[in-house]
Amino acid sequence: MVGGLNKLLFQEAKKYIPAGVNSPVRAFKAVGGIPLFIKKAKGSKIYDVENNSYIDYCMSWGALILGHVHPLVIKQVKNVIIKGTSFGAPTKIETDLAKQICKAFPSIEKIRFVNSGTEATMSAIRLARGYTGKNKIIKFAGCYHGHADYLLVQAGSGLTTFRSMFNVQRSMSLGVPKDFIKHTIVLPYNDLNAVKKVVKKYQKYIACIIVEPVAANMGVVLPKEDFLKGLREICNQYKIVLIFDEVITGFRLAYGGAQEFFKLNADLTCLGKIIGGGFPIGAFGGKKEIMRLLAPDGAVYQAGTLSGNPVGVNAGFATLKILQNRNIYKRLEEKTNVLCSGIIENAKKTGVNIFVNRIGSMFTVFFIDKKEVHNYQRALKSNTQQYKKFFHKMLEEKIYFPPSQFEASFLSVAHTEKDIEKTIKVSYDVFRKI
């Protein structure tokens, strides 16, 4: 039963760690209750300290596309870890991984590794500003690009819950001076006309447009046909740097990320999550012409003590090697489609209003009575009370969905047909109860 040892550990954690967690959404504030304290994991399952096993649709927020503890990844990590964990000097494997990523993304000619997605977006934006000599950036409401000051404006992910809790205005966080966000222009996702208008007006000042090519931090929200293409055209026309934040979509939607999926090229790309194979990593890369401005070749500074550390880079390399088998993406898509179709059918049968956005192996079940969720404003109309009930009833049945309506669910290679059948079956009973 959840409430025994999990509860004790949570109480203890809260004494020493704010809210007991090292990243906000983990605290279950959006759904209430006590977070699971995880002891171990394998394949599609996580095990809490009370020895319950759960089918995991969170998968470390999308990082673990191969499932937990994939034997080949673990083997490679074990082999390198005994030879040293950090040298603060270059290693061959960094070039190997860089080469592999450059091959996967034709738009990435050069790449640099950092320690998190947050660092990747921060550095990409600094680089875009350095390259263009301009200050303003355009981002889209509901897109999350890590927690740099000037990106915490109408950002998704944990901030969606957080803001309503504290009624924080303008920036979504205290501690961010207004001056720091005055160069951030926020526009509605999927609204190309809004972009055109703003770009015309501020063209002399805009360094870059940063976008999640598929938004996954307000729940999954798909780009409308021509939205991304339109951004590409506007950026070409006005010489604005187009940054795709592919921290989630990279190696998730397709091996070559959203850029392969939608047949488009960004100028700079941010990566993270999957490319670390479960270890802390991030990366940003793009055109040589832009990347050559990076220190020490150029005058845009960026650095990191543990950047490109051999453990994460090896785990990422092993992961990408497996993902090169393109059949993986087809299978993932099929499995996810079966799961989502089953859930949709059961909602219909039981008269629960949901709308599911799915692409490839990522999806969100929105509890909403609308026929479309295409931007942040719409996503916020979701019935979060109903999601809360759904989340806890599923959890009782040992199925772990992300603990917030505004996060993506993910499938991995390790999810079995049996997992999916069980989830669909349970969803019927759960929908009936809520």
User: Is residue 336 near ligand PLP by the rule CB under 6 A?
Assistant: no
CB of 220 to ligand PLP, least distance (A): 11
User: Is residue 146 near ligand PLP by the rule CB under 6 A?
Assistant: yes
Site string for ligand PLP, 213-232 (x = CB under 6 A): ---xx---------------
Tell me which residue of 294, 257, 262, 286 sits closest to 274, measured CA to CA: 257
> What tokens appear for 182 in the block?
């005055």
Choices 32-40, 91-99, 243-251, 289-297 (CB under 6 A): range interacting with ligand PLP: 243-251
Nearest residue (CB) to ligand PLP, 134 versus 145: 145
Active site residue 245: yes
Distance between CA atoms of 269 and 125, rounded to whole angstroms?
A: 11
Contact 270, 247 (CB under 8 A): yes
Which residue type sits at 253? L
Contact 319, 287 (CB under 8 A): no
User: Is residue 124 near ligand PLP by the rule CB under 6 A?
Assistant: no
> What tokens appear for 189 in the block?
């996702």
Nearest residue (CB) to ligand PLP, 245 versus 419: 245
Active site residue 301: no
Which residue type sits at 84? G
Active site residue 273: yes
Give the count of residues interacting with ligand PLP (CB under 6 A): 15
Which member of 57, 131, 144, 255 is catalytic?
144
CB of 22 to ligand PLP, least distance (A): 11
User: Is residue 121 near ligand PLP by the rule CB under 6 A?
Assistant: yes
- Rule CB under 6 A: choose which of 20, 282, 308, 312 binds ligand PLP: 282
Choices 81-89, 139-147, 160-168, 232-240 (CB under 6 A): range interacting with ligand PLP: 139-147
Distance between CA atoms of 363 and 333, rounded to whole angstroms?
A: 11
Choices 141-149, 294-302, 337-345, 349-357 (CB under 6 A): range interacting with ligand PLP: 141-149
Contact 347, 354 (CB under 8 A): yes
Tell me which residue of 243, 182, 183, 172 sits closest to 211, measured CA to CA: 243
Tell me which residue of 6, 31, 59 sits closest to 393, measured CA to CA: 31
> What tokens appear for 399 in the block?
């199925």
Place of tokens 């055209």: 233
- Rule CB under 6 A: choose which of 117, 223, 250, 312 binds ligand PLP: 117
Residues 246-275 that bind ligand PLP (CB under 6 A): 247-248, 272
Nearest residue (CB) to ligand PLP, 129 versus 145: 145
Residues 97-116 that bind ligand PLP (CB under 6 A): 116
Contact 283, 112 (CB under 8 A): yes
User: Which residue sits closest to ligand PLP, CB atoms considered?
Assistant: 117
> What tokens appear for 114 in the block?
């950092």
Choices 43-51, 229-237, 240-248, 371-379 (CB under 6 A): range interacting with ligand PLP: 240-248
**Around Cβ 232, how many Cβ atoms within 10 Å?**
19
Displacement of CA 363 from its chain's centroid (Å): 12
Which member of 29, 45, 134, 273 is catalytic?
273
What strands, in cross-sheet order, belong to the sheet with 53-56? 38-42, 45-48, 53-56, 399-400
- Rule CB under 6 A: choose which of 48, 56, 94, 245 binds ligand PLP: 245
Which member of 245, 335, 393, 400 is catalytic?
245
Nearest residue (CB) to ligand PLP, 218 versus 395: 218
Place of tokens 């409308």: 224
362-366 vs 355-359, strand pairing mode: antiparallel
**Given the rule CB under 6 A, which residues bind ligand PLP?**
116-118, 121, 144-146, 212, 216-217, 245, 247-248, 272, 282
Give the residue numbers annotated as catalytic, written as ranges.
144, 245, 273
